[in-house]
């Protein structure tokens, strides 16, 4: 893949107002072309020399940009983006059209009772299997069908709680996450919080976003056998990869999490034996393995919606001048709106979640409906299990099929989203939009230490 910097985006006044359909012509996912260079969609200011566009035939490339390009060229099969991730700009465009989205933000008390219900299911199953052999069909089938589904629900409950969407109190959210963690059998919740927040803030940034496969993984596993291995043991990849790429500094909450889970495991084994604990850990393994619900790990950010169009391809189609721009951004995150969301805290609404991480799972469908002109044109997955099948069997899709960037990337003008949809307009000011975004980040990303600092600042 050759990576190059294209001319800057033309003035927004010349952009056609026609709605762009970003969905594939067929109804199934198509192969991703990871050998296509990414568009430069910068909305940055003009150069410091203040030269007009007529005086510049080629863009001025800084030393830093050249270093980025060199790194891209040395990793030729990932899709290397020169722009920022797509969610910040689309969030601004949606808020401009629908400032009422603010009313959807904040925690929901629906989550805690579901957590305790699923914990009850898992502990009951573990108790009933205390006398069954771990390799018996009844044990394995229960661990896969009931345990795998239940613990995937627990994983995603912790994901929801990580964004502070169960309670207003950050400490209460952390305590609930640790309680939910009891069903997993291994300390998880507090480590996940740090890495997941970075996944949102630095989506696709090489060396920071630990959701991305490393070059080593891509080299070793980019074949059918390797992809089967990855899909089967992906829970281990997500657990171990961060330690090799970006280790965390332990906090008191990491210690509390570890002590709580280990103490619970010891009590469980002393009271009921090893088999209930084996059931919980086996359930966690199946939850991140070849399980229908586990397919969301691949479906969310792997590039599976067709080759990235070029400006030349789009220019050949009348009225679709912006297709190449929007499709290049739209493929980085893909949503799924099927029935499995019922079991998975609506995590399939993944574009909506990344656009507004402070909107709880119960209100993501409402967000989609409210801003449907932004979301309906985007590519979607029709089936999670089919995503896993496609990922394994399609030679054009694999570990390389991810978008990466070497840094934050060039800013994207929010107008690129609103001008290609029939979005309504409002009188909201830019300052108000920035205030809403600040509230969104505060709810979804704040830690208890930041909360304490904010409280002290207010008291002064």
Band of the pLDDT at 240, cuts 50, 70, 90? confident
- Judge whether residue 248 has pLDDT over 60: yes
Average pLDDT, the chain: 81
Residue 24 lies in a domain: no
Most confident of 13-27, 49-63, 255-269: 255-269
Closest CA to 87 of 339, 430, 450, 403: 403
Name the DSSP class of 412.
B
d(C-alpha 396, C-alpha 380), whole Å: 19
How large is the average pLDDT for residues 317-334?
A: 66
pLDDT at 7: 31
Residues 390 and 444 in one domain: yes
Domain end, chosen from 265, 296, 327, is at 296
Q: What is the pLDDT of residues 204-227, one digit of tens each?
A: 999 999 999 998 999 999 899 999
pLDDT at 317: 52
> CB count, 10 Å around CB of 10?
12
Task: State the burial class of residue 71 (Cβ atoms within 10 Å of its Cβ: 0-12, 13-18, 19+).
Answer: middle
Q: Which of 80-94, 141-155, 381-395 has the lowest mean pLDDT?
A: 80-94
Residue 370 lies in a domain: yes
- Judge whether residue 322 has pLDDT over 80: no
Residues 277 and 318 in one domain: no
Yes or no: say if 283 and 183 are a contact pair by the CB < 8 Å rule: yes
Domain that holds residue 189: 111-200+210-296
Residues 316 and 267 in one domain: no
Higher model confidence: residue 16 or residue 416?
416
Written as six digits, the tokens of 152 are 């995937």
Residue 328 lies in a domain: yes
How large is the average pLDDT for residues 19-48?
A: 38
- Judge whether residue 407 has pLDDT over 50: yes
Residues 240 and 315 in one domain: no
pLDDT at 162: 97
Specify which residues 380 forms β-bridges with. Answer: 335
Residue 43 lies in a domain: yes
Q: What is the pLDDT of residues 417-459, one digit of tens each?
A: 876 667 677 778 888 888 888 888 888 888 755 554 444 444 3
Band of the pLDDT at 129, cuts 50, 70, 90? very high
Residues 312 and 288 in one domain: no
Q: Which of 189-193, 409-413, 417-421 has the lowest mean pLDDT?
A: 417-421
pLDDT at 64: 61
Domains contained in the chain, number: 2
pLDDT at 86: 92
Residues 74 and 196 in one domain: no
Higher model confidence: residue 282 or residue 330?
282
Band of the pLDDT at 302, cuts 50, 70, 90? very high
Yes or no: say if 406 and 68 are a contact pair by the CB < 8 Å rule: yes
Residue 7 lies in a domain: no
Specify which residues 80 forms β-bridges with. Answer: 404
Residues 126 and 222 in one domain: yes
- Judge whether residue 326 has pLDDT over 80: no
Q: Which of 30-34, 400-404, 412-416 has the lowest mean pLDDT?
A: 30-34
- Judge whether residue 25 has pLDDT over 70: no
How large is the average pLDDT for residues 116-129?
A: 98
Residues 391 and 277 in one domain: no
d(C-alpha 198, C-alpha 90), whole Å: 19
pLDDT at 59: 44
Higher model confidence: residue 306 or residue 148?
148
pLDDT at 81: 85
Written as six digits, the tokens of 131 are 């006398």
pLDDT at 428: 80
Most confident of 178-187, 321-330, 374-383, 420-429: 178-187
Residues 288 and 305 in one domain: no
d(C-alpha 359, C-alpha 363), whole Å: 6
pLDDT at 137: 97
Band of the pLDDT at 74, cuts 50, 70, 90? low
- Judge whether residue 90 has pLDDT over 70: yes
Domain end, chosen from 280, 296, 312, is at 296
Torsion of CA 288, 118, 385, 354, to 10 degrees: -80
pLDDT at 121: 98
Residues 397 and 452 in one domain: yes
Domain end, chosen from 296, 326, 348, is at 296
Residue 22 lies in a domain: no
Cα separation values, 280 from 44, 149, 194, 270, Å: 51, 12, 24, 15
Closest CA to 261 of 162, 363, 191, 318: 191
d(C-alpha 332, C-alpha 341), whole Å: 20
Band of the pLDDT at 51, cuts 50, 70, 90? very low
Q: For a pLDDT cut of 90, what percent of the chain falls above it?
A: 59
Residue 128 lies in a domain: yes
How large is the average pLDDT for residues 34-63?
A: 39
pLDDT at 83: 87
d(C-alpha 245, C-alpha 454), whole Å: 31
How large is the average pLDDT for residues 247-261?
A: 94
Residues 316 and 290 in one domain: no
Residue 60 C-alpha from the chain's centroid: 33
Residues 275 and 406 in one domain: no
- Judge whether residue 39 has pLDDT over 80: no
* Residues 6 or more apart whose Cβ sits within 8 Å of residue 171: 448
Q: For a pLDDT cut of 70, what percent of the chain falls above it?
A: 74
């Amino acid at each position: 893949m050759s990576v190059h910097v294209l001319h800057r985006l033309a003035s927004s006044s010349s952009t056609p107002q026609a709605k762009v359909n970003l969905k594939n012509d067929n109804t199934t996912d198509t192969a991703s072309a990871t050998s296509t260079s990414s568009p430069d969609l910068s909305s940055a200011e003009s150069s410091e020399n203040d030269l007009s566009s007529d005086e510049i035939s080629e863009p001025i490339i800084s030393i830093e940009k050249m270093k980025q390009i060199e790194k891209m060229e040395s990793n030729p099969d990932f899709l290397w983006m020169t722009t920022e991730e797509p969610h910040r700009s689309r969030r601004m465009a949606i808020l401009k059209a629908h400032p009422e989205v603010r009313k959807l933000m904040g925690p929901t008390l629906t989550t805690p009772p579901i957590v305790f219900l699923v914990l009850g299911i898992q502990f009951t199953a573990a108790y009933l299997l205390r006398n069954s052999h771990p390799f018996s069909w009844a044990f394995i089938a229960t661990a896969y069908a009931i345990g795998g589904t239940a613990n995937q629900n627990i994983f995603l409950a912790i994901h929801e709680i990580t964004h502070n969407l169960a309670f207003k109190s950050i400490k209460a959210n952390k305590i609930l996450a640790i309680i939910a963690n009891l069903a997993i059998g291994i300390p998880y919740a507090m480590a996940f919080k740090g890495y997941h927040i970075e996944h949102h803030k630095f989506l696709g940034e090489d060396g920071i976003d630990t959701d991305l496969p490393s070059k080593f993984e891509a080299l070793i596993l980019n074949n059918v056998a390797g992809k089967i291995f990855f899909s089967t043991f992906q829970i281990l990849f997500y657990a171990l990869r961060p330690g090799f790429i970006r280790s965390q500094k332990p906090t008191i909450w990491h210690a509390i999490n570890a002590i709580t889970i280990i103490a619970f495991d010891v009590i469980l084994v002393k009271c009921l034996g090893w088999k209930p604990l084996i059931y919980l850990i086996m359930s966690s393994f199946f939850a991140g393995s070849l399980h229908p619900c586990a397919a969301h790990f691949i479906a969310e950010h792997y590039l599976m919606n067709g080759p990235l169009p070029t400006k030349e391809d789009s220019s050949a189609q009348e009225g679709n001048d912006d297709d190449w721009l929007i499709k290049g951004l739209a493929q980085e995150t893909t949503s799924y709106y099927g029935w499995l969301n019922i079991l998975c805290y609506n995590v399939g609404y993944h574009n909506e979640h990344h656009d507004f991480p402070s909107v709880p799972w119960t209100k993501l469908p409402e967000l989609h409906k409210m801003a449907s002109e932004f979301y309906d044109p985007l590519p979607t997955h029709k089936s999670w299990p089919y995503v896993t099948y496609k990922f394994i069997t399609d030679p054009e899709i694999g570990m390389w099929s991810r978008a990466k960037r070497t840094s934050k990337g060039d800013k994207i003008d929010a107008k690129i989203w609103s001008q290609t949809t029939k979005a309504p307009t409002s009188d909201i000011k830019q300052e108000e939009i920035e205030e809403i975004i600040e509230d969104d980040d505060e709810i979804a990303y704040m830690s208890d230490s930041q909360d304490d600092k904010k409280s002290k600042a207010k008291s002064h």
